[in-house]
Amino acid sequence: MTQPAQPIRLHGFQLSGHSHRVELFLNLLGLPYQFIAVNLAGGEHLQPEFLSLNPFGQVPVIEDGAVVLADSNAILVYLAQVYDPARRWLPTDPLRQAQIQRWLSVAAGDLAFGPALARIIRLFKRPADIVQAQAVAHRLLQRLEAQLGANEWLVGDTASIADLALYSYTARAPEGDVTLDDFPAIRTWLNRVEALPRFHPMPRATS
Ligand SMILES: N[C@@H](CCC(=O)N[C@@H](CS)C(=O)NCC(=O)O)C(=O)O
């Protein structure tokens, strides 16, 4: 198995689904890493030291030797290309790659502005329209349900980084008062992800 020369440093926030999807993949790949908690509430992500890693002031960021890389989906692509030589998680076939990219775009779009935003509003009191975010979430869940009613995984016959990118915020959607009760295929898929060897759970918010 390809391994880094030293543990990968993951700058993240425990309750962030963006951070979790990276931490999940590090675990599934069996890679050594060190989690460095960034104090978002205290504004640590806006301090010069963190901004030198990511001028966008967002977690997650990884440091892999001399490589510094921000953005959860970019990190998934990097880890798959460097540390999964069999390319199980991001196949080399151009169509498969494009299909996976499509879901990474969904993760950066409707997932972020739907279930993830509703959860942030609920948990962290962000001043934004929760009704609008929940509507985006509901529409996305209907589309995911249709996809997963007919397929075990989002792309192809095995798990890919598309599944990892969508997993965390879908699993924690109820924390934004977005129920999964009406979506049995999604719940079965969540269980399928959670049954992967070396699965690493995302902490539940206590409030
Ligand atoms: N596109 C980025 C989004 C990351 C993101 O939104 N991170 C949030 C935590 S979940 C953050 O750092 N927020 C701090 C802020 O924006 O002030 C990614 O995929 O990594």
Residue range 134-190, pLDDT digits in tens: 999 999 999 999 999 999 999 999 999 999 999 999 999 999 999 999 999 999 999
60 vs 12, 36, 141, CA distance in Å? Answer: 5, 10, 25
pLDDT (0 to 100) of residue 206: 74
Fold match between domain 8-83 and domain 94-194: no
Answer whether 156's CB lies under 8 Å from 91's CB: yes
Mean per-residue pLDDT of the chain: 97
Q: What radius of gyration, in Å, describes the C-alpha atoms of the chain?
A: 17
Instruction: Report domain extents, the chain.
Output: 8-83, 94-194
- Topology of domain 94-194, per CATH? Glutathione S-transferase Yfyf (Class Pi); Chain A, domain 2 (1.20.1050)
Residue-wise pLDDT tens digits, 61-91: 999 999 999 999 999 999 999 999 999 999 9
Q: Which amino acid is at 106?
A: V
Q: Whose CA is nearest to atom 13 of ligand 1?
A: 58
Q: For the domain covering 8-83, report its CATH number.
A: 3.40.30.10
Return the H-helix or E-strand segment holding 48: helix 48-51
Q: Which atom of ligand 1 lies nearest, measured to the CA of 75?
A: 20
Phi and psi at residue 29, in whole multiples of 5°? -80, -10
* Over residues 124-134, mean pLDDT: 96
Q: Say whether pTM exceeds 0.95.
A: yes
Distance CA 20, CA 115 (A): 15
How far does residue 6's CA lie from ligand 1's centre (Å)? 26
119 lines ligand 1 (CB under 6 A): no
168 lines ligand 1 (CB under 6 A): no
